[in-house]
Amino acid sequence: MSRVGKKPIPLPKGVKLTIGSELLVEGPKGKQTVPLPKGVSVRQEDGTLHVTRDTDKQAALHGLTRALAANAVQGVSTGFTRELAIFGIGYRCEVKGRIATFALGYSHPIEFYLPDGIDMKVEKPANNLTPLILTGSDRQALGQVAAKMRGLRPPDPYKNKGIRYVGEVLRKKVGKTGAGGK
């Protein structure tokens, strides 16, 4: 049996569930739906949520459904954060409303539209580093937005400039050396 799927999901206060053809999770940070595949069922008892399956053919979907449900419960109760950092002299970002404007060494500024449910805060730059904090209730959407932002200027392995996740370890490469030629 799935080890992930067997684990019960504790429900914090303020989270309401509606179980039907899909699981609707509502909380203080918003609401999310989790699809329930055939053969996988959900039941609520004593402040916890249990995910069960009919046969072993649904083993993968069992664990997946439980993980998606747990992410939805955590998202609507506490939310998720993703931290990025901009490294490089002259690289910066500012947010006005739902639009983040990046200056990343290109000939033009890049405007990035933040989707609904994702908020961004830019902290004060220090030591050629500008911290960006993304918050939201949908884990998948938050990760997708963070990946797209990182893709605007991926970290350069030679100079270590660009946008990267906080805690991401880069191996700096050695540049060309020597006279080359004859």
- 72-131 residue pLDDT tens: 999 999 999 999 999 999 899 999 999 999 999 999 999 999 999 999 999 998 888 899
Q: Please state, rounded to an integer, the average pLDDT across all residues of the chain.
A: 91
**Could you tell me which of 52, 37, 54, 126 has the C-alpha nearest to residue 85?**
126
**By mean pLDDT, which of 57-61, 79-83, 135-139 is the weakest?**
57-61
pLDDT of 135 strictly over 60:
yes
Q: In what order do the strands lie in the sheet with 40-45?
A: 9-10, 48-53, 40-45
Is the Cβ–Cβ distance between 92 and 103 less than 8 Å?
yes
Cα–Cα dist 48/34, whole Å: 16
182 confidence band (pLDDT: 50, 70, 90): low
Residue 62: helix, strand or coil by DSSP? helix
Q: Calculate ∠ Cα 86-87-88, nearest 5°.
A: 120
Name the maximum alpha-carbon separation found in the chain.
79
Is the Cβ–Cβ distance between 49 and 76 less than 8 Å?
no
Is the Cβ–Cβ distance between 51 and 58 less than 8 Å?
no
Contacts 24+ apart (CB under 8 A), 98-106: 100/149, 102/152, 102/153, 104/152, 104/153, 104/162, 104/163, 105/153, 105/161
Q: Which domains are seen in the chain, by residue range?
A: 3-77 (3.90.930.12), 80-165 (3.90.930.12)
Q: What pLDDT was estimated at residue 69?
A: 95
Cα–Cα dist 108/68, whole Å: 39
Cα–Cα dist 169/69, whole Å: 31
Q: What pLDDT was estimated at residue 128?
A: 82
Is the Cβ–Cβ distance between 150 and 143 less than 8 Å?
no
